[in-house]
């Protein structure tokens, strides 16, 4: 037999049908008995309740403390409803017998039926409230993913979820370390998190929150083509020369022009960028403060060094080969004539040099002082030539994106095709390791936090990047 779920619509439909008989045919023993039978039969058509929710919310009514309590109450109400239905059915059968015996329904039977109907209505209200509570729990369980966690939050979660991690912090063992991987999204979350970075220490009532250190915006990585590698070094051929002898064939059977192209094998080792921080064991015990410590200083410091390496790395001694280091030196292109050259003229000529090398400049890297001087230029009417103070978009110059960073020396710049001819390959994302075995940590009740990452920068064409001063002097 097909059964229906006990919903508000089903209950209302049952009540409407049961009430329509006395209204249509008058209030008689026969119509009352028929209405009672309809209500009783509806109880038999209800499908037994099944719950499939997950959640940690407390119910919206009564004193309910857990999912098991809600489910138990739901089943109890369903059982009570079935009992009421059975009793109503019994009274209906007795009334039917009385009517067949040409007797009216007794006052006692009427009173009992009214009492059972009232009880049934109250139970149905409780059942609807339980269904709404469980629906809310289901919605909570199906909520979308939480925002990206910061590095410190990942560390706190790791300690919370792993018994061995808590045991490690409580009882350090010589020679053991704890490592927690920190994906790149965690670093981005640390930069964009405006909630305080998890610095929920216990303070007096007048808590103004942690004053976080100023953090420089990092953008050089965003200009580059991303990638990953699983090796300790990368190898790639790079074009070192090209002689173009393409031409018209002089006659049928005649020799065609022969062009020459040469390559060089390039090897770049994966560099390790890392630093360590000494913290007290007492600080480690206060996980929220440790989260702020990692997010605000350790991870950001690592990324500042990465940005410096991406621009100015020497390419020797374990350093990355930086973009400024590998770029071709600026030389004014033949045929380009400029009078009273300004920094804007120099940047446009650098873009021309990149274009003549068969590439297309996609970005410009400037020191913040130089970029501010360019934006502040005015005409004779004191109108800004190059920018609108109310403009909130990313800085652009000659149609290219501008990256303003202190990693670039003042007075210098690099222009190039960052998106096509350079690629940053990550070997290991930034990770955090905690150890008690470093120098005299045991005596001083200290621990050492190590933050490191491994990556390599591949510059496929040096001539696609041009560097030089912003003026001819």
Q: What is the pLDDT of residues 184-204, one digit of tens each?
A: 655 555 544 444 443 333 434
What lies within 8 Å, CB to CB, of 74 at 6+ separation is 49, 51, 127, 130, 131, 134
Average pLDDT over residues 24-43: 70
Q: What is the pLDDT of residue 243?
A: 86
CA nearest neighbour of 128 among 117, 120, 139: 120
- Residue with the bigger pLDDT between 367 and 78: it is 367
pLDDT digits (tens, 9 = 90+) for 276-288: 888 888 877 776 6
Question: Per CATH, the architecture of 151-201+217-243+262-469 is what?
Answer: 2-Layer Sandwich (3.30)
Eight-state DSSP code of residue 462: G
Q: What is the pLDDT of residue 300?
A: 85
**Cα–Cα distance for residue pair 18/31, rounded to 1 Å:** 9
Per mean pLDDT, which of 59-73, 109-123, 415-429 is the most reliable?
415-429
Report how far apart, in Å, the C-alpha atoms of 396 and of each of 354, 401, 402, 415 are.
17, 5, 5, 13
Q: Which pairs from 31-36 meet CB under 8 Å and 24+ separation?
A: 32/95, 32/105, 32/110, 32/113, 33/92, 33/95, 33/96, 33/99, 33/105, 36/88, 36/89, 36/91, 36/92, 36/95, 36/113, 36/117
Q: What is the pLDDT of residue 51?
A: 41
Instruction: Tell me which H or E stretch contains 100.
Output: helix 67-100
Return the axis-axis angle of helices 8-25 and 29-44, rounded to nearest 10°: 160
- Degrees to nearest 5, angle at CA 267 with 263 and 268: 135
Portion of the chain with pLDDT greater than 90, in percent: 25
Q: Give the pLDDT band (50/70/90) at residue 44.
A: low
DSSP string of 140-171?
A: HHTPPPPPPPPHHHHHHHHHHH-HHHHHHHHS
Q: Up-side HSE of residue 269: CA atoms within 13 Å toward CB?
A: 10
Q: For 341-389, give the secondary structure using H, E and C.
A: CCHHHHHHHHHHHHHHCCCCCCEEEECHHHHHHHHCCECCCCCECCCCC
Check if the beta carbon of residue 234 is closer than 8 Å to that of residue 425. yes
Q: What is the pLDDT of residue 9?
A: 62
- Tokens 């109890």 belong to 76
Q: What is the mean pLDDT of the chain?
A: 75
Q: Give the pLDDT band (50/70/90) at residue 262.
A: confident
Dihedral angle of Cα 149, 164, 426, 402, to the nearest 10 degrees: 30
Average pLDDT over residues 328-347: 92
Q: Which residues pair with 272 in a beta bridge?
A: 454
**Token digits of residue 214:** 């100023």
Interstrand relation of 225-228 and 422-435 (parallel, antiparallel or unpaired): parallel
Q: What is the pLDDT of residue 351?
A: 96
Q: Up-side HSE of residue 266: CA atoms within 13 Å toward CB?
A: 18
């Amino acid at each position: 037999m097909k059964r229906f779920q006990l919903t508000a619509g089903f209950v209302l439909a049952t009540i409407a049908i049961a009430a329509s008989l006395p209204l249509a045919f008058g209030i008689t023993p026969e119509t009352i008995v028929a209405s009672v039978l309809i209500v009783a039969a509806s109880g038999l058509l209800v499908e037994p309740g099944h719950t499939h929710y997950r959640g940690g919310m407390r119910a919206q009514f009564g004193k309910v403390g857990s999912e098991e309590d809600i489910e138990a109450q739901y089943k109890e109400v369903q059982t009570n409803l079935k009992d009421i239905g059975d009793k109503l059915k019994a009274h209906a059968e007795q009334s039917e017998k009385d009517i067949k015996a040409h007797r009216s329904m007794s006052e006692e039977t009427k009173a009992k039926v009214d009492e059972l109907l009232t009880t049934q209505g109250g139970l149905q209200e409780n059942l609807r409230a339980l269904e709404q509570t469980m629906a809310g729990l289901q919605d909570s369980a199906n909520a979308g993913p939480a925002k990206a966690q910061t590095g410190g939050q990942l560390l706190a979660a790791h300690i919370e979820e792993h018994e061995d991690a808590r045991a490690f912090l409580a009882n350090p063992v010589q020679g053991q370390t704890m490592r927690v991987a920190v994906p790149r999204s965690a670093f981005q979350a640390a930069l964009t998190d405006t909630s305080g970075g998890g610095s929920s220490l216990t303070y007096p009532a007048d808590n103004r929150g942690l004053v976080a250190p100023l953090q420089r915006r990092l953008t050089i990585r965003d200009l580059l083509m991303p990638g990953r590698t699983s090796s300790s070094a990368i190898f790639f051929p790079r074009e070192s020369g090209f002689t173009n002898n393409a031409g018209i064939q002089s006659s049928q059977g005649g020799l065609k022009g022969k062009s020459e192209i040469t390559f060089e094998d390039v090897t770049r080792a994966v560099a390790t960028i890392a630093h360590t921080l000494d913290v007290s064991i007492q600080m480690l015990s206060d996980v929220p403060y440790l989260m702020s410590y990692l997010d605000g200083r350790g991870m950001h410091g690592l990324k500042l060094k990465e940005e410096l390496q991406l621009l100015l790395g020497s390419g020797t001694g374990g350093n990355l080969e930086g973009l400024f280091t590998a770029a071709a030196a600026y030389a004014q292109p033949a045929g380009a004539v400029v009078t009273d050259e300004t920094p804007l003229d120099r940047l446009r000529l650098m873009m021309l040099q990149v274009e003549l090398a068969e590439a297309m400049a996609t970005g410009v890297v400037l020191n913040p002082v130089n970029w501010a001087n360019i934006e502040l230029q005015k005409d004779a009417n004191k109108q800004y030539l190059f920018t609108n103070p109310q403009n909130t978009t990313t800085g652009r110059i000659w149609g290219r994106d501008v990256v303003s960073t202190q990693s670039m020396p003042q007075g210098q710049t690099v222009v190039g095709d960052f998106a096509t001819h350079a690629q940053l390959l990550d070997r290991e994302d930034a990770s955090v390791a905690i150890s008690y075995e470093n120098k005299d940590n045991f005596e001083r009740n200290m621990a050492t936090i190590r933050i490191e990452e491994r990556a390599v920068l591949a510059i496929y064409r040096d001539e696609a990047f041009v560097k030089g001063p912003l003026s001819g002097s």
